[in-house]
């Protein structure tokens, strides 16, 4: 058995350093900067009827609260935009190379926009951890550079799942989460603001994006399903290992994992739900609520099977959050039927381009329909584009606060 790590072109100075050896120190000036961000976050919280952590817990438990909690997926790309103050000087690649910038940019974003949570999204999706080569790009996540490593079942023989504590960019990500937790505890934010962390991609996405490839995987579903099943099973092993590392090191209040549910027809591919259930059941005993993030409208057709296979529900994933590409009404109706968590964001393109009247209209529809669901979260945009004007993102959040009020 062997871990096959490809090359990461353009990686920063902390790439590949195991978590146990990753030691970063803050200067006095940086400590002051962090303290100021935390003071501002605490000031924001003091203006709320109940604090965001209380609101989050009430949402998970389906209890009465002042308004719908907000799901805030701003990603490292937009976080650096906030820290940069739109000067077009700092770039997303800097956030992926330097973990201290990640911490400061995320604290700055939560402080600037009065967010309900500090959401820590992925800085890499495992582009190189199955043997492919990858490279950094200025305005986005790392990308695969060249051929993918898995062409047949034989290529999976002897392939060992990487260790998130040691390999690739994952130690940086874990340090980031662990350091945010330390800062939250130091300044008392741990009592008022929840942290949520991503362990994307899911098993299917790992196999599709970084082992086999999109077109070959889709063809193999019909012609060589064993290849897809074996690769996805390895992806599930990775997801479990990665999720456990996050839970142990950063101790977030919730975790989420992206899923390509809806990309595949249900008939003949029922085993996808089983792999999702495997991950959920393995991690649920850790006691951290976990939800799936889905972006394809055809996911609606998978919902009955996901419930049947216990891929969602007690002892597994607590529910499904969806982007603006998914019809929010059947998603909310299904969540009401099974008493599940759900969040329905508006399209990121709407937040990017406006106008504010459209942002408010789309947000209002989802917030008001979501009040049918005991565990509904208002989606403040699905994933915020780097170029989104601050005024449009602010308008999205304000609409969630306004129309999500009970």
Are residues 153 and 230 in contact, defined by beta-carbon separation less than 8 angstroms? Answer: yes
pTM of the model: 0.95
Rounded CA-CA distance 65/42 in Å is 20
Q: Quick one: DSSP state of residue 372?
A: T
Q: In the prediction, which pLDDT does 74 show?
A: 87
Q: What is the band of 185 on the pLDDT scale with cuts at 50, 70, 90?
A: very high
Cβ contacts of residue 345 below 8 Å, gap of 6+?
71, 73, 321, 322, 323, 324, 366, 379, 380, 381, 382
What are the tens digits of pLDDT across the range 293-348? 998 999 999 999 999 999 999 999 999 999 989 999 999 999 999 999 999 999 99
The two structure tokens encoding residue 339: 């008493």
The DSSP line for 43-74 is HHHHTSSS-HHHHHHHHHHT---SB-EEE---
What are the tens digits of pLDDT across the range 138-180? 999 999 999 999 999 999 998 999 999 999 999 999 999 999 9
Q: How far is CA 326 from CA 201, 244, 256, in A?
A: 19, 29, 18
Q: Which domains can be identified in the chain, with CATH numbers?
A: 8-403 (3.20.20.210)
Q: How far is CA 303 from CA 11, 261, 331, 333, in A?
A: 39, 9, 9, 11
CB neighbour burial string for 344-354, b if at least 16 within 10 angstroms, e if fewer: bbbbbebbbee
What are the tens digits of pLDDT across the range 237-254? 999 999 999 999 999 999
User: Rounded mean pLDDT of 211-231?
Assistant: 95
Q: In the prediction, which pLDDT does 382 show?
A: 78
Using a pLDDT cut of 90, give the percent of the chain over it: 94
């Amino acid at each position: 058995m062997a871990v096959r790590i490809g090359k990461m072109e353009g990686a920063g100075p902390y790439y590949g350093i195991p978590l146990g050896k990753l030691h970063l120190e803050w200067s006095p000036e940086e400590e002051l900067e962090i303290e100021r961000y935390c003071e501002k976050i605490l000031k924001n919280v003091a203006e709320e009827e109940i604090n965001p952590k209380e609101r989050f817990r009430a949402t998970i438990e389906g209890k009465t609260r002042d308004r719908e909690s907000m799901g805030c997926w701003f990603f490292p790309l937009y976080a650096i935009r906030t820290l940069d103050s739109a000067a077009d000087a700092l770039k997303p690649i800097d956030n992926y190379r330097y973990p201290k910038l990640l911490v400061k940019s995320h604290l700055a974003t939560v402080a600037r926009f009065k967010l309900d949570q500090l959401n820590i999204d992925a800085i890499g999706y495992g582009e190189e951890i199955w043997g492919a080569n990858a490279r950094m790009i200025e305005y986005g996540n790392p990308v695969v550079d060249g051929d993918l490593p898995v062409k047949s079942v034989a290529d999976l023989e002897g392939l060992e799942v990487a260790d998130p504590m040691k390999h690739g960019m994952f130690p940086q990500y874990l340090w980031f989460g662990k350091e945010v937790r330390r800062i939250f505890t130091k300044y008392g934010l741990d009592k008022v603001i929840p942290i949520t962390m991503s362990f994307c991609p899911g098993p299917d996405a790992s196999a599709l994006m970084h082992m086999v490839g999109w077109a070959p995987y889709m063809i193999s579903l019909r012609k060589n399903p064993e290849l897809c099943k074996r690769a996805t099973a390895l992806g599930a092993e990775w997801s479990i290992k990665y999720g456990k590392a996050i839970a142990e090191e950063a101790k977030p209040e919730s975790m989420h994992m992206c899923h390509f549910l809806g990309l595949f027809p249900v008939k003949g591919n029922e085993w996808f739900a089983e792999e999702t259930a495997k991950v959920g059941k393995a991690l649920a005993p850790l006691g951290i609520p976990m939800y799936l993030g889905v972006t394809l409208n055809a996911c609606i057709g998978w919902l009955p099977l996901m419930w049947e296979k216990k891929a969602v529900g007690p002892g597994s994933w607590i529910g499904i959050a969806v982007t603006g590409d998914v019809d929010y009404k059947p998603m909310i109706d299904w969540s009401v039927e099974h008493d599940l968590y759900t969040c329905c964001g508006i399209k990121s393109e709407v937040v990017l381009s406006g106008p504010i009247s459209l942002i408010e209209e789309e947000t209002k529809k989802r917030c008001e329909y979501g009040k049918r669901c005991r565990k509904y979260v208002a989606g403040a945009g699905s994933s915020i584009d780097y170029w989104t004007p601050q005024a449009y993102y602010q308008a999205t959040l304000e609409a969630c606060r306004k129309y999500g009020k009970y």
